[in-house]
Amino acid sequence: MADSLILEVADFEVDVLTGIYSEETGQPQPLRISIAARLKPIPRYAPDTPLSASKNYMDLKFAASEAFPPGMHFKLIEAVADHVCETLFLQDGRIEAVTVKIVKLAISENGEHIGITLTRERR
């Protein structure tokens, strides 16, 4: 098995314009998003290895928050996840795969985690 490096940002909340029902449209909905991005690691990480040998974790969070076009409405949370994947692929050619997990907080009635997980490989 080849070496891999997984960078993760988990369980942060962001308000996104998403939904297909009339009560969902026009108002941002709270989503809980987790992202894992797979990179090919360098052969060894020494104590003085610079950040450029990896990736800044905040870039993952940016792809699922500020990188959303202002006012854009995503009908499906699958489209939100796809946008995050594409943003990260465009941002850094070293990313081999991205997994995005999204939980729709507004539809949970008893603490369930209702949502999707999308994994995309670089094409």
pLDDT in tens, 93-116: 999 999 999 999 988 888 889 999
- What dotted CATH number matches 5-43+52-121? 3.30.1130.10
HEC letters along the chain: CCCCEEEEEEEEEEEEEECCCCCCCCCEEEEEEEEEEEECCCCCCCCCCCHHHCCCHHHHHHHCCCCCCCCCCECCHHHHHHHHHHHHHHHCCCEEEEEEEEEEHHHCCCCCCCEEEEEEECC
The string of pLDDT tens digits covering residues 42-94 is 999 999 999 999 999 999 999 999 999 989 999 999 999 999 999 999 999 99
Residue 24 in this model has a pLDDT that exceeds 90: no
Q: Quick one: pLDDT at residue 73?
A: 93
Single pTM value for the model: 0.92
The pLDDT value given to residue 23: 76
